[in-house]
Amino acid sequence: MNKDHFTPAEGFLADALLYQSALLGFTERDTYIYESDNKGKLIVNPRKVQSMEVHHIYEANGTTDIIPEDQGLLYHYRWPLQPCAREVKDSRVVTKFGQRLLARLKLIWSKLRGVFKGSKNPPPVGNRATCKIVVNNTVTYKNPT
């Protein structure tokens, strides 16, 4: 998800701030999806791989399966590819795992005595707010693509 603006999942604002959770707090992504052989992530059996890098296997024995994006999608974006372009709200992961994650966050943080947690304000990163133009309650973006 793009970390240039805080977009908490519905119903998770306070918890996203309290636990500084990226999963709960950043739910918008670029519309563009790299091809699987460009920025895909890999799950490998190390005994069958002779040569690889982060996004590509050069030499291996075995088969390759590409997971369709509607079943699983792992991004390698930290910042938007085009800063003021439209984005997609994607809360599939938080919808599926948000409550379980929150229960675990609460459990772990309850064991961390004296450790500061929380924030009253969204993370001060990026400049996404400068891209938005609001007219009659309709949000558009500068330079949309």
pTM strictly above 0.85: no
pLDDT of residue 78: 67
pLDDT, tens digit, for every residue of 79-108?
777 777 778 888 888 999 999 999 999 999
Helical residues (DSSP H) of 46-121, grouped into ranges: 92-110
Domain boundaries, the chain: 13-33+75-141
10 pLDDT exceeds 80? yes
- The residue behind tokens 């977009």 is 7
Q: What is residue 127's three-state secondary structure?
A: coil
**Residues with Cβ within 8 Å of residue 28, at least 6 apart in sequence:** 1, 2, 5, 7, 87, 88, 89, 90
Cα separation, 89 vs 1, whole angstroms = 10
66 pLDDT exceeds 90? no
Beta bridge partners of 7: 26
Cα separation, 28 vs 5, whole angstroms = 9
Cα separation, 93 vs 27, whole angstroms = 9
Confidence of residue 55 (pLDDT cuts 50, 70, 90): confident
pLDDT of residue 60: 82
